[in-house]
Amino acid sequence: MSQHSKYSPIADRIFAGRFLMICAVIILMAIAGWFVWYAINGLLLIVSAIILAIALDGLARAIHWVVPLSRHLSIALASIAVVAALGGVITFGTMNIAARAPQLEKQIAQSVNQITTRLEQNNLAPDWITHSNPNNSSGSGSSGNANDGQSRQKTSSIGKRLSGEFSNAVTVTISTLADAFLIAIIGFYLAFTPSAYQQALVRLVPKNRRQRIDDLLCEVGIVLRRWLVGRGLSMTAVGVGSVLGLSLLNVPFALLLGLIAGLLTFIPYLGAILSAVPAILVAALQGIDIAFYTAGIYLGLHILEGYILAPLIQRRAVSLAPGFLLIAQTLGFAIAGTFGMMVAAPIALSIQVFVQALYIEDVLGDQPHMPGVDVLSQENSSES
C-alpha cells in the first residue's frame, strides 16, 4: 500500500502542470526569438532613439550647467544644436563635393586610364575593358564594325547597370532618411519626458522588484552617457588629426574626410578601418605615395587613439573588454549588418549592467563590476 501511495493522482497532476509550464515557457521563448529576429530593424531603431535621447539628455545637462534653464527648454536647445550641426555638416559636404566635382572627375578618369593601360600592357585586362577601349580598334571595316557593335552593347549594359545602381542608391537614401527622421522624433520624445516612459516600463515587473529595476535603468543611463562622452572625445581627436594630416598632404576633401573619420570612430575598433578606406581611395588619385602616407597617418592616429587616448578617457568614462566588444560587434553585424555593428557597443554595455546586477549579485551573491560605476566608486574612495 505504501508503494502505491507514491503514485497518487495529485503527484501526476503536479508533474503534468510542471511539464506544461516548461512547454509553455519554451513556446513563448521561441515566439519571442521569432519576433526579435523579424523585428530586429525596428528594435534597433528604438535602441538608436534611446541612445539619441541619452545624448540629448547629456547636452541638456551641460546647457543647464552653463545657463540655469528649465529641463524642457534645455532639451529643446540641445535638439536645435544637434539639428543645426547635422545640417551644417550635410550642407558643407554637399557644397564641397559640388565645388571639387569637375577636378575629381578628371582625376578619376586619368587614374582609370592609367590602370587600364597597365593592365593591357601586362595582358591582365578583362575582355570588356579591351573591347570598350577605343585605342584597340583595328583599321579594317569589318573588325571596326564588330568592335563598334560590341562597344554599343557594352555601353548599353553599363548604362543599365548604372541606372540600376542609381535607383538602388535613391531607395537606400530615402529609407535611411526615413529611419533617421523616425529616430529623431522618438529620441526627442524620450528625452523630453524620460520618467514617464521609464515608469511605464518599470510597472511591467512585480512590485517587489520595481525599485531594483528602476535603479538599474538609471544606472544604464549613467553608463551610456559616460560612454557617449568618451566616444565623443575620441571622435573629436581622430577627426581633427585626420583633417590636419590630410591638409598637409593636399588631399582633396580633407575636411569632409576628417568628418567621416570622426563619425566612424563612434564604432570602436572596426570604425578605424572603415574611416581609412575613403581617405586612402581619394588620396590614391593624387599618387600611390600619397595613398601610403595617408594610410600611415590613419594608422598612427588610431594607434594613438586606441593605446593612449582611449585608456586615459576610459579611466574617466566606461570601457568594455576588447574581446567581448568585438564578439558583440560581430554578432551585431551578422544579425543586422552595419546598423547592428554600430549599436553593438551600447547594447553590450546595457547587457553587462543587467547581468552583473541581476545574476552576479542577486543570484550568485558575488560582488558586481559595473562599467563606469566602479570608476566612480574608486574615485570617491581614493578621494576619501
The per-residue pLDDT for 381 is 46
Q: Give the whole-number percent of the chain exceeding pLDDT 70.
A: 69
- DSSP 3-state helix, strand, coil percentages of the chain (rounded to 5)? 85, 0, 15
Q: Give the whole-number percent of the chain exceeding pLDDT 90.
A: 0
Residue 62 has pLDDT above 60, yes or no: yes
Contact in structure between 371 and 319 (CB atoms under 8 Å): yes
Quick one: how far is CA 162 from the chain centroid?
A: 28
What's the mean pLDDT in 13-35? 80
The per-residue pLDDT for 250 is 86
Question: What is the pTM assigned to this prediction?
Answer: 0.70
Q: Which amino acid does the sequence have at 264?
A: L
What's the mean pLDDT in 229-246? 86
- Tens digit of each residue's pLDDT (9 = 90 or more) over 152-186: 554 455 445 545 555 565 566 677 778 888 888 88
Higher pLDDT, 378 or 60: 60
- CB burial class (10 A; 0-12, 13-18, 19+) of residue 298? buried
Quick one: how far is CA 36 from the chain centroid?
A: 19
**Average per-residue pLDDT for the chain:** 75
Residue 137 has pLDDT above 50, yes or no: no
What's the mean pLDDT in 205-228? 87
Nearest-angstrom CA–CA distance, 96 and 25: 57
The per-residue pLDDT for 40 is 80
Candidates 296, 267, 368; CA nearest to 51 is 267
> Which residue carries 528602476 as its cell?
214
Count the residues in the chain.
Answer: 384
For the chain, what are the domain ranges? 52-136+153-192, 206-384
Nearest-angstrom CA–CA distance, 117 and 135: 10
The per-residue pLDDT for 260 is 83
The per-residue pLDDT for 252 is 79
The per-residue pLDDT for 91 is 78
Candidates 185, 226, 233; CA nearest to 371 is 226
Q: Which amino acid does the sequence have at 294?
A: T
- CB burial class (10 A; 0-12, 13-18, 19+) of residue 68? exposed
The per-residue pLDDT for 149 is 52
- Tens digit of each residue's pLDDT (9 = 90 or more) over 105-130: 666 666 666 666 766 666 655 554 45
Contact in structure between 222 and 349 (CB atoms under 8 Å): no
Burial letters 132-141, b for 16+ CB under 10 A, else e: bbeeeeeeee
The per-residue pLDDT for 171 is 64
> Which residue carries 564641397 as its cell?
96
What's the mean pLDDT in 292-320? 76
Higher pLDDT, 372 or 40: 40
What angle, rounded to 10 degrees, do the helices at 40-66 and 322-342 form?
A: 100
Nearest-angstrom CA–CA distance, 13 and 289: 79
Nearest-angstrom CA–CA distance, 101 and 98: 5
Nearest-angstrom CA–CA distance, 140 and 372: 77
Q: What is the DSSP letter of 173?
A: H
Instruction: At 307, give phi and psi (nearest 5°).
Output: -110, -15
The per-residue pLDDT for 311 is 67
- Tens digit of each residue's pLDDT (9 = 90 or more) over 332-383: 888 877 788 888 888 888 888 888 888 888 777 777 776 655 444 444 444 4
The per-residue pLDDT for 376 is 45
- Tens digit of each residue's pLDDT (9 = 90 or more) over 2-12: 445 555 666 66
Is 370 strand, coil or helix? Answer: coil
The per-residue pLDDT for 307 is 72
Residue 131 has pLDDT above 70, yes or no: no
SS (H, E, C) 279-345: HHHHHHCCCHHHHHHHHHHHHHHHHHHHHHHHHHHHHHCCCCCHHHHHHHHHHHHHHHHHHHHHCHH
Which range scores top for mean pLDDT: 203-212, 277-286, 372-381?
203-212
The per-residue pLDDT for 112 is 62
Quick one: how far is CA 188 from the chain centroid?
A: 20
Contact in structure between 346 and 224 (CB atoms under 8 Å): yes
